[in-house]
Amino acid sequence: MSGRSPALWARGIGGRNALSLWSWLLTLPLALTVMNMFAGSITLAGTGSVTLAAEGSGTAIVFFVHVVLGLLGILLRPLITARPSLKGRITTAFGTFAFLGACRPLLVAWSSRTLNIADLSEDLWARVLINIGAALVFLSAIAMLTDSIRGHAVLERRLRAAQAALEAQLGFDEHRLRSIHSDYVTELSKRLDTVLTARMVTTLDRSEASGLLRTISDDVVRPMSHQLFHDHTP
């Protein structure tokens, strides 16, 4: 994967792997821990104390918002892939990532205030900016990583299919060569027997032996070699 060009990495941001199920799964631990707006800073509306129930409710809100934004991201993905150019897809992807990142703290703050769990309006716009930056970084990285892994898996499947086809072809070729060898050895033996039977004598002088060898070469070996080349060259 390290040998991929920057263009291939960038293509993953604006491809079909942007805002996939992996985007939701891999960012879930981050959303519930580091980016949890309730962690260590919750203030109960009208009280000023922190309770485990309030923290649990806050985590539930964060999880629910993450689910909603995950579904929204999947619904928005066609907007990215519909763009004809790579530059347009990447630009749309960045805009979508930023939009989802901005929505997250706003939805969490609105939900917690509506349910009278906590008031998270303090430094809300700073949280919005932080979430936008985090969404751009993490969603882009996950999209590129997912695209790279899936591309590698597709390539591996193609290589395995090609290897299987090659092995099958080699097996077929070996069987074909054995069949050709058997057929031509049998045919050669028959033709040699025919020639030798027709010229069968007890002894051969030098000229007769030379003529017999010439006959074998001209009438048996050469025609069969031409036939073999003509019939089985492919």
**CA pseudo-torsion sign 24, 30, 35, 39:** positive
- Residue 213 CA to residue 232 CA, distance in Å, equals 26
- Residue 55 CA to residue 39 CA, distance in Å, equals 7
Position 87, amino acid? K
- Residue 217 CA to residue 211 CA, distance in Å, equals 10
- Residue 54 CA to residue 207 CA, distance in Å, equals 115
- Residue 62 CA to residue 65 CA, distance in Å, equals 5
CA geometry: angle 97, 100, 103, nearest 5 deg: 150
- Residue 161 CA to residue 147 CA, distance in Å, equals 21
Helix (H, G, I), strand (E, B) or coil at 188: helix
Per the prediction, the chain carries an average pLDDT of 79
DSSP secondary-structure letter at 217? Answer: I
126-171 pLDDT, tens per residue?
889 999 999 999 999 998 888 888 877 777 888 888 888 887 777 7
Q: Is the pLDDT of residue 199 over 70?
A: no
Q: Is the pLDDT of residue 41 over 80?
A: no
- Residue 156 CA to residue 162 CA, distance in Å, equals 10
